[in-house]
Amino acid sequence: MNFDFTEEQLMIQESARDFAQNEIAPSTVERDIKAEFPADIVKKMGELGFMGMMVSPDFGGAGMDTISYVLAMIEISKVDASVGVIMSVNNSLVCWGLEKYGSDHIKQKYLIPLAKGEKLGSFALSEPEAGSDATQQHTMADKEGDFFVINGIKNWITNGTRADYHLVMTQTDKSKGHRGITTFLVEKGTPGFDHGKKEDKLGIRSSDTCSLTFENCKVPKENIVWEEGRGFNFAMNTLNGGRIGIASQAIGIAEASLEASLKYSQERKAFGKEIAKLQAIQFKIADMAVKLDAAKMLTLKAAALKDAGKNYFAEAAMAKLYSSKIAVECALEAIQVHGGYGYVREYLVERFLRDAKITEIYEGTSEIQKIVIARSLLDKK
């Protein structure tokens, strides 16, 4: 087993780190307070190739592997997990699925600008009554000649008010259950399509989350992604990769928690010495470091399997389950290391906890990841 990264992977990691420190960090705190979308940052990330990292250069992407994507996601999320999720949705849930399953028309018209970061995408699966139980889609798409007419509501949509192109899962044949679900690409501005108000969230506040509404929204049949009736498979296959992205986001938050704890504990004095010299603090630091390394191993393993063209869905679920859990734990411990200072905005670590919590919920809750993992084992028997 080789634990070394290639020169190219290390270069991407370094360039993501530099970008995060120089271009993202200065505005992170203010954007979190104001819940302000990082439009200029996202634009620059597109120019640098971070919005379509794994897409082939033939379709406007950077042509990198999933390991590089994980390393970049960690660096960006370490500084700002809101920017991390915007990047993750566009890369894993939108661009990856379009490159793998989109028609040539879709790739030429939509994937190229998405991968270049000129346009932004969203992934609309969840509904008010279809969250974890995602097969229960109520959004309908009825055939009318060469068009489909969409009616329904989606919610919790990342990039919702900002995205130019939305991947929308709909029911085209209710009698077939989840095998009657179809994915459409819907352009912003299509008559009958609108978004709701931006949600006021606990964490990842500068990212954008909202509902989407469809009232007799007419979409051409060319905008079906993959095939009629394959929309649920599309969503599940795409989410497997998305879970690697969210695992990386969680690792970024955990790493930021550890680094803040290392710094603060070597500055803060109590009982006549730096608190880093106290075992109580050393135990916390050691626990955080072990958890972080284990989360990285799981996530890089899932990424390596994906890059090798092997099945990775259970490994992606394990990576997300564990990384999101330890992100919350590390953020909590970082607050404890900081004491009262950890509870106020000035010291950043309170944001890590607020940002970490969502990683246990979106792109499949921890409970859903356990179902996916358990079924993968039971299916082998």
Give the active site residues. 363
Phi then psi dihedrals of residue 141, to 5 deg: -130, 110
Q: Which of 135, 216, 266, 311 binds ligand CAA (CB under 6 A)?
A: 135
Burial 93-126 (b: 16+ CB within 10 A, else e): bbbbbbbebbeeebbebbbbbbbbbebbbbbbbb
48 alpha-carbon distance from chain centroid: 19
Site for ligand CAA contains 27 (CB under 6 A): no
Q: How far apart (Å, rounded) are the C-alpha atoms in residues 183 and 250?
A: 28
Q: Which of 37, 50, 69, 123 binds ligand CAA (CB under 6 A)?
A: 123
Residues 307-346, one symbol each (x = binds ligand CAA by CB under 6 A, - = not), give ------x---------------------------------
55 alpha-carbon distance from chain centroid: 16
CB of 212 to ligand CAA, least distance (A): 11
Phi then psi dihedrals of residue 339, to 5 deg: 60, -140
CB of 216 to ligand CAA, least distance (A): 25
Site residues for ligand CAA, 233-252, by CB under 6 A, read 233, 236-237, 239-240
Phi then psi dihedrals of residue 118, to 5 deg: -75, -25
Strands 147-158 and 181-187: unpaired
Select 13 or 126, whichever has its Cβ closest to ligand CAA: 126
Select 291 or 325, whichever has its Cβ closest to ligand CAA: 325
Site for ligand CAA contains 125 (CB under 6 A): yes
99 alpha-carbon distance from chain centroid: 18
Q: Which of 64, 157, 250, 276 binds ligand CAA (CB under 6 A)?
A: 157
146 alpha-carbon distance from chain centroid: 34
Phi-psi label, residue 252: left if phi above 0, alpha if psi -120 to 50, beta otherwise:
alpha
Site for ligand CAA contains 185 (CB under 6 A): no
Binding segment (CB under 6 A) for ligand CAA, from list 7-15, 32-40, 142-150, 230-238? 230-238
Three-state secondary structure call for residue 206: coil
Binding segment (CB under 6 A) for ligand CAA, from list 65-73, 232-240, 249-257, 295-303? 232-240
Query: What are the Cα distances from residue 266, in Å, to 24, 277, 281?
Result: 26, 8, 10
CB of 123 to ligand CAA, least distance (A): 5
Q: Which of 110, 232, 234, 264 binds ligand CAA (CB under 6 A)?
A: 232
DSSP H or E segment with residue 248: helix 231-267
Q: Which of 212, 219, 288, 368 binds ligand CAA (CB under 6 A)?
A: 368
Q: How far apart (Å, rounded) are the C-alpha atoms in residues 294 and 78?
A: 17
Name the residue type at position 267: E
Phi-psi label, residue 70: left if phi above 0, alpha if psi -120 to 50, beta otherwise:
alpha
Q: Which of 42, 76, 79, 89 binds ligand CAA (CB under 6 A)?
A: 89
Tokens matching residue 63:
């042509």
Q: Which of 132, 216, 266, 311 binds ligand CAA (CB under 6 A)?
A: 132
Site for ligand CAA contains 366 (CB under 6 A): no
Site for ligand CAA contains 100 (CB under 6 A): no
Select 15 or 376, whichever has its Cβ closest to ligand CAA: 376
DSSP H or E segment with residue 148: strand 147-158
Q: Which of 138, 178, 301, 354 binds ligand CAA (CB under 6 A)?
A: 178
Site for ligand CAA contains 213 (CB under 6 A): no
CB of 179 to ligand CAA, least distance (A): 6
CB of 177 to ligand CAA, least distance (A): 8
Select 235 or 349, whichever has its Cβ closest to ligand CAA: 235
Q: How far apart (Å, rounded) are the C-alpha atoms in residues 6 and 11?
A: 9
CB of 368 to ligand CAA, least distance (A): 4
| Sign of the torsion formed by the C-alpha atoms of 84, 87, 91 and 94 | positive
Task: Give residues in contact with ligand CAA (CB under 6 A).
Answer: 89, 93, 123, 125-126, 132, 134-135, 157-158, 178-179, 232-233, 236-237, 239-240, 313, 362-364, 368, 371-372
